[in-house]
Amino acid sequence: MYNNGNLNQNNGNIPTNMDLNYNSSSNVNYNNQNQNNSYINNNFSNNQITNNVTNNKSKKKLLLLIAGILILVIAIVIFATYKFFGNKNSEINEIFSDSVLIRVKKDDKYGYINLDGKFVLEPIYIKATAFQGNYAVVKTVVNEEGINGEIYQLIDKEGNARAQAKYDSDIKYISEYDIWIINDQLYNSSLKKLSSDNVKVEYEKYGYLKWEDINKKSAGIMDTSGKVTYTYNYQSGEYYFSVTPSYTAPTLTERYCITNINNEKYGIVNCDTGKVVYDYTKNHISDEYDNMFEVSKRNPWEFLTLMYVQNNKIAYQTNSKNVDLDYFSSGYVQIYDTDKDYSNRYSYLDVKTGNISSSQPSSDNSNINLNEWETLTGITTKSCNNGYGLVKGEEEILPCEWYSIDYFDTLLYQYLISKGKNYVITRKNNKTYIVDLKNGKVVEEFNTLNVHKDGTSTFIYYNDSSTNDKIIYNLVTGRTMKTTTNNSLSVYPNYITIKENNKRNYYNMDLKLIYTEEV
């Protein structure tokens, strides 16, 4: 059943060569197309006839060439569209897949069932995690050289072992980037190895990893594709390297990393290019976010410099303790200087030009505060005297009559759209409503103002204001279930569990009981 320790190197790439097959019946028959107009004027000379035939052939070749180019362009557009939307659709399909495997316990062992409650992988594992991406981590007993031993394995949905490790901490999944760190090596979602054998990697954050060669001669920064973006060669007595990627606002296109050698010297490098922006110093460097950094002297601690970095150079710096920097709207850094008169304390650095102005930027910030759902749909909230509504440009989607309007997680929203359910949550008159934006009609009414929704889960739940019963509702099936408020409820994208009386019950989106386990 197991293929112990063997990693499948197939990366699952979409083939780039596309064969265009033409149906011969769709080709134009040029020999017969003018049968009804076959009359030739007897006054034409033979040269005229020959020239006309030659011109017709040239036109036919040109038309065929144009048709071929158009077909190729259409194919490229279709392929590009698939590539653009394919990853997003793949993520949606993975989260809400009907083929989800649910970890359950039976007789002190773990296995996996489907949404019908049937075992797909029998309960044979000592420990097990939920499936993350296409794989799960399990602890099981293996026999090696006649000796039984416990080991952690990464299994696929057929139960095949794709990798193994001595400790569970040696197998990590980074869900945001769909990558795996297994025995200090980097793998993609298809378990293709991305790092080389002579290095060990450790995930940091924001899509960057620290790498170090096994001989402790060098270390550096790696991105999630396995590309080494920065290398530092250890000098005599150096043995420790760490990297701290800075948090940056989404509108910033650059990210810088603080590098630390032996906790004795610090530098700033471009995380993506490895360009050194601030050379190594014995002073401490801390991340002030949005490409702003503070340099301080140690022992005793003393502030030295506050700086803003862009285009691989220091765009602004100050040695004053009374100056504060803040990323302001899109493309500007706000400089606040308490040493100046109150009316002149604010100035603004244009991050594109490097110019500083005392005037507050008048750039168009209309889209900066849009949330992800509003950006996706083009629908925004409108406020008026009667409450809130929704508009798309000049078109009114919902009238201004609601106490509040909530949106769903964008992946969940797109999944609901695929099921024909264009929903938002609205509130008024001490009640909550599910409203369909296709027609503005109320789909469901809940006797509460407080409805809980959990990210990508298709379930919402609330306590009824009158009865205090806990009500569970599924957005896809429209099914409702009532339970008591003291039950322990856990929600997942397409199933829930309720813990009660030393039992955990599993329900699918139809709110049908599919499994019960002892806890």
Residue 76 has pLDDT above 50, yes or no: no
Residue 440 has pLDDT above 90, yes or no: yes
The per-residue pLDDT for range 233-260, each reduced to its tens digit, is 999 999 999 999 999 988 888 999 999 9
If pLDDT is split at 50, 70 and 90, which confidence band does 12 have? very low
The per-residue pLDDT for range 463-479, each reduced to its tens digit, is 999 998 999 999 999 99
Residue 229 has pLDDT above 70, yes or no: yes
Residue 428 lies inside a defined structural domain of this protein: yes
- Give the lowest-confidence range in 72-76, 86-90, 238-242: 72-76
Residue 377 lies inside a defined structural domain of this protein: yes
The encoded tokens of residue 168 equal 């569970």
Residue 82 lies inside a defined structural domain of this protein: no
Residue 40 has pLDDT above 80, yes or no: no
Residue 23 has pLDDT above 60, yes or no: no
- Give the lowest-confidence range in 179-183, 286-290, 342-346: 342-346
Say what the pLDDT of residue 437 is.
Answer: 96
* Helical (H) or strand (E) element with 150: strand 147-155
Say what the pLDDT of residue 65 is.
Answer: 56
How much of the chain exceeds pLDDT 90, in percent?
67
How much of the chain exceeds pLDDT 70, in percent?
81
- Averaged pLDDT for residues 430-446: 96
Q: What are the CB-based long-range contacts (under 8 Å, 24+) for 436-441?
A: 437/379, 437/390, 437/397, 437/398, 440/397, 440/398, 440/399
Coil vs helix vs strand at 245: strand
Phi, psi of 35 (to 5 degrees): -60, -35
Q: Residues for the chain: how many in total?
A: 519
Residue 8 has pLDDT above 80, yes or no: no
Phi, psi of 420 (to 5 degrees): 75, 25
What is the Cα–Cα distance from 499 to 519, expressed in whole angstroms? 8
Residue 291 lies inside a defined structural domain of this protein: no
Phi, psi of 81 (to 5 degrees): -60, -40
What is the Cα–Cα distance from 515 to 517, expressed in whole angstroms? 7
Q: Which residue has better confidence, 57 or 139?
A: 139
- Give the lowest-confidence range in 87-101, 209-223, 271-285: 87-101
Cβ contact 308:292 at 8 Å:
yes
Say what the pLDDT of residue 143 is.
Answer: 81
- Averaged pLDDT for residues 338-354: 88
Residue 232 lies inside a defined structural domain of this protein: no
Say what the pLDDT of residue 74 is.
Answer: 47
What is the Cα gyration radius of the chain?
A: 31
* In 302-379, beta strands by DSSP E: 302-310, 313-318, 323-328, 332-337, 346-350, 356-357
- Averaged pLDDT for residues 490-513: 95
Say what the pLDDT of residue 70 is.
Answer: 53
Q: What are the CB-based long-range contacts (under 8 Å, 24+) for 198-204?
A: 203/172, 203/174, 203/179, 204/243, 204/244, 204/245
Contacts of 99 (CB under 8 A, 6+ apart): 114, 157
Residue 2 has pLDDT above 60, yes or no: no
Say what the pLDDT of residue 372 is.
Answer: 86
**Helices 46-95 + 410-418 axis angle, to 10:** 120
What is the Cα–Cα distance from 174 to 158, expressed in whole angstroms? 22
Say what the pLDDT of residue 157 is.
Answer: 96
Coil vs helix vs strand at 205: coil
Residue 72 has pLDDT above 60, yes or no: no
Say what the pLDDT of residue 69 is.
Answer: 52
Residue 422 lies inside a defined structural domain of this protein: yes
What is the Cα–Cα distance from 264 to 266, expressed in whole angstroms? 7
- Give the lowest-confidence range in 9-18, 208-217, 219-228, 363-372: 9-18
What is the Cα–Cα distance from 336 to 345, expressed in whole angstroms? 5
Domain with 489, as residue range(s), is: 372-518
The per-residue pLDDT for range 53-62, each reduced to its tens digit, is 445 545 555 5
Coil vs helix vs strand at 58: helix
- Give the lowest-confidence range in 81-90, 192-201, 312-321, 383-392: 81-90
The per-residue pLDDT for range 118-131, each reduced to its tens digit, is 999 999 999 999 99
Taking 3-state DSSP, the helix, strand and coil percentages for the chain, each rounded to the nearest 5, stand at 15, 45, 40
If pLDDT is split at 50, 70 and 90, which confidence band does 50 have? very low
What is the Cα–Cα distance from 84 to 90, expressed in whole angstroms? 11
Number of structural domains the chain divides into = 1
Residue 465 lies inside a defined structural domain of this protein: yes
Residue 17 has pLDDT above 50, yes or no: no
Residue 447 has pLDDT above 50, yes or no: yes
What is the Cα–Cα distance from 280 to 268, expressed in whole angstroms? 8
- Give the lowest-confidence range in 87-96, 161-170, 357-366, 415-424: 357-366
Burial 265-288 (b: 16+ CB within 10 A, else e): bbbbbbbbeeeebbebeebbbebb
3-state secondary structure 414-483: HHHHHCCCCEEEEEECCEEEEEECCCCEEEEEECCCCCEECCCCCEEEEECCCCCCEEEEECCCCCEEEE
Sign of CA dihedral 9, 11, 12, 14: negative
- pTM of the full structure: 0.76
The encoded tokens of residue 308 equal 């803003």
Residue 177 has pLDDT above 60, yes or no: yes
Cβ contact 194:187 at 8 Å:
yes
- Averaged pLDDT for residues 449-472: 94
Residue 223 has pLDDT above 80, yes or no: yes
3-state secondary structure 265-312: EEEEEECCCCCEEEEEECCEEEECCCCEEEEEECCCCEEEEEEEEECC
Q: Which residue has better confidence, 186 or 65?
A: 186
Q: What are the CB-based long-range contacts (under 8 Å, 24+) for 270-275?
A: 270/229, 270/312, 271/206, 271/208, 271/221, 271/223, 271/229, 271/230, 271/245, 272/223, 272/229, 273/229, 273/312, 274/220, 274/221, 274/229, 274/230, 274/231, 275/312
Say what the pLDDT of residue 9 is.
Answer: 33
On average, the pLDDT of the chain sits at: 84
- Give the lowest-confidence range in 77-81, 260-264, 384-388: 77-81
Cβ contact 442:479 at 8 Å:
no
The single-letter DSSP state of residue 347 is E
Residue 510 lies inside a defined structural domain of this protein: yes
The single-letter DSSP state of residue 8 is P
Burial 400-439 (b: 16+ CB within 10 A, else e): bebeebebbbbbbbbbbbeeebebbbbbeeeebbbbebee
- Give the lowest-confidence range in 76-90, 178-192, 227-241, 324-338: 76-90
